[in-house]
Amino acid sequence: MSSIKPEEMYDAIVVGTGISGGWAAKELCENGLKTLVLERGRMVKHIEDYPTMNMDPWDFKFKGQPTKEEEAKQFKQARTGYTTNKAHSHFFVNDLEHPYNETKRFDWMRGYHVGGRSIMWGRQSYRLSDIDFEANKKESIAVDWPVRYKDISPWYDKVEEYIGVSGENLGLPQLPDGNFGPPMELNCVEEHLKKNMAQNYKDRLLTIGRTAHITYTDKTFEGRSACQYRNRCMRGCPFGAYFSSNSSTLPAAERTGNMTLRPFSIVSEVIYDDTTKLATGVKVIDAETKEEMVFNSKIVFLCASAIASASILMQSKSDRFPEGLGNDSGELGHNIMDHHFNVGASAKFDGFEDKYYKGRRANGLYIPRFRNVGGDSDQPNFKRGYGYQGGASRGDWTEAISEMKYGEDLKKAISEPGGWTIGINAFGECLPYHENKMTLDYDKVDKWGLPTITFDAEWKENEWEMRKDMKQQAADMLTNAGFKDVQTYDNPGAPGLGIHEMGTARMGRDPKTSVLNGNNQLHAVPNVYVTDGSFMTSASCVNPSLTYMAFTARAANHAAEQFKNGKFA
């Protein structure tokens, strides 16, 4: 390898620019560390590189539907049913260029560009609670989280304050309150369900989703403004109304003058020095030229996503770590979790025909977890719990057409709002199973000569048992509230489809059974931090991104402190 140029020496390297990488970059740079931020994909500049952000359906050739030829290039990404829409298909990978293998089906949805999935994320933002952090220990499942709510709570505060989360405080032990902007409104039919649930149930309630959109009228966010209710978030927001790395953390890092951002940089390995027992930097392949290079630093943050960060560690083999960097426990790449969902109920509502709503709210109702949270809520057939996300709306014309048939009557019918419908979809916790894993296939390499990933993960009995309750409770709540034509559904899909893959380098107290310590450091190589979904010791049932941000901010400040104290010299 050629000698290291001085400009290739950094205090810290951050691998990945998604929701975690952006936070690592911001916090490290704001602590004064010269930071190189590496992104395997192309540059995406806020606003400038959101080509579809203002397009209407008629501005797309087929109203946004991909052609068969286009969809063939994203045949795995297409499994969600929405990712390949032309409104945002450019933010999801080409499956032909980025293949992976499936011993069992795994839906790996991702985008390779600056900002990563922080551009297309669902923006639902919930805190984990001590019910989550203590569950593994209480139930003797996997290993104990080395962290409790009090440790992470101030970092949730910091993150919510910075990104802007709208929502309602409820005082629930299973869903801690936060630092929220004004909640978005429920519509008439959602309010009806909320009132009925309050009458029908003592153990559960309905609220508006907590979402990372600015709803404040009295607080400013640099370069961002309040939500305009266009519901085109996945395309990138010209108002910067929802949080993304592109709109928020990367510009903040940039403003410090300490960040160097390098797109098209595929990290293949973290380099380990057995004399210092520390990492010295990373190996990079330029995605465009395939040139190999080395960048050196005192600290490495892996924020490449749960699967990619684990893959980089597994590829980082040395005499000391023949099974991958920091993999003394043998847990690296194991314990893959996601949320299982697409089970619930939908229904119609007779009434409120003279009521409508204004705006397209990129948010929905939320029914927080009510199972296995203590007292009467404990279930005999499954552990952990689930929450519901959903919403009510008008606007479906399918009912009208069988009677309006054709002609002028039909045109009139389809121009008016249709009847009210509602849907509630459960998101359930998946337990960590050692045998749910990813491995590397060195016989099938990608176009950069790197091994491809093979998935071998599945839902198990606890998930299947939970789904029965998820379906039943959904139907009961709607039926009890007077909804009509209640239909249940259960489409389990496969792990990955929730796009919350996590757990591949779990945190723990014991280096023999976990990869990371409670500060997100590799037990055996303390200047390597992994702060994307990899670190999750259990999944909780809530959307995880807020937790990734809070742990990343905490880890970055820990790293900066260690750095300043000369621990990684």
Partner 1 sequence: MKRRQVLKNIGLGAGYVAVAPAVFNLLQSCKSEPKNEWQPVFLNVANGFALTQVLDVILPKSDTPGASELNIAQFIDSYMDEVAGDKQKEEFKSGANAFALSFKENFDKELSDGEAEDFEKAVAKYLGADKETRDAYVKRISETQDPEAPKAGFDAHAGSYAYLGVVRDLGIWAWKNSEAVGENVLWYDPIPGAYIGCLPESEAGGGKVMSL
3-state secondary structure at position 29: helix
Tokens of 527: 């200047």
518: contact with partner 1 by CB under 8 A: no
Tell me the closest approach of the beta carbon of residue 39 to partner 1, in angstroms: 31
Tell whether residue 228 is a contact of partner 1 (CB under 8 A): yes
Give min distance, CB of 66 to partner 1, in A.
Answer: 7
Q: Does 406 bind partner 1 (CB under 8 A)?
A: yes
Answer for which of 319, 354, 376, 443 binds partner 1 (CB under 8 A) is 354
Q: Is 63 in the site for partner 1 (CB under 8 A)?
A: yes
CB of 136 or CB of 211, closer to partner 1: 211
**Beta-bridge partner residues of 293:** 284
Strand partners, 13: 36, 300
* Contacting residues for 428 by C-beta, under 8 A, at least 6 apart: 339, 340, 341, 343, 384, 385, 386, 463, 466, 467, 470, 541
The verdict on 58 binding partner 1 (CB under 8 A) reads yes
Q: Which of residues 22 and 181 has its CB atom nearest to partner 1 in the complex?
A: 181
Token pair recorded at residue 345: 């109920």
Rounded to whole angstroms, the Cα distance separating 160 from 425 reads 25
CA dist 561 and 192 (Å) reads: 51
The mark string for 410-439 relative to partner 1 (x by CB under 8 A, - otherwise) is xx--xxxxx---------------------
Per CB under 8 A, the segment of 1-9, 139-147, 284-292, 350-358 that binds partner 1 is 350-358
Does 376 bind partner 1 (CB under 8 A)? Our answer is: no
Distance, in Å, from the CA atom of 420 to the CA atom of 431, rounded to the nearest integer, reads 36
* Residue number with CB closer to partner 1 (184 or 539): 184
* 66 in contact with partner 1 (CB under 8 A): yes
Cβ 430 vs Cβ 390: under 8 Å: no
Of 39-47, 124-132, 358-366, 501-509, which part binds partner 1 (CB under 8 A)? 358-366
* Contact status: 68 vs partner 1 (CB under 8 A): yes
Report if residue 43 touches partner 1, rule: CB under 8 A. no
Contact between 380 and partner 1 per CB under 8 A = no
C-alpha span between 170 and 369 (Å, rounded): 12
The answer to the question of residue 216 lying near partner 1 (CB under 8 A) is no
Closest to partner 1 by CB, 186 or 440 = 186
Give me the least distance between CB of 186 and partner 1, in Å please: 5
Q: Using the rule CB under 8 A, is 218 a contact of partner 1? A: no
Stretch that binds partner 1, among 123-131, 154-162, 178-186, 288-296 (CB under 8 A): 178-186
Length of the chain as a residue count: 569
Q: What is the DSSP letter of 36?
A: E
Beta bridge partners of 132: none
DSSP 183-232: PPPP-HHHHHHHHHHHHH-SS---EEPPBSB---SS--BTTB--------
* Piece of the chain touching partner 1 by CB under 8 A; list 63-71, 435-443, 488-496, 555-563: 63-71
Q: Which residues are CB-contacts of 407 (< 8 A; sequence separation ≥ 6)? A: none
On whether the CB atoms of residues 131 and 429 are closer than 8 A, the answer is no
* Residues forming the site for partner 1 (CB under 8 A): 54, 56-58, 62-63, 65-69, 184-188, 190-191, 228-230, 352, 354-361, 394-395, 397, 401-402, 405-408, 410-411, 414-418
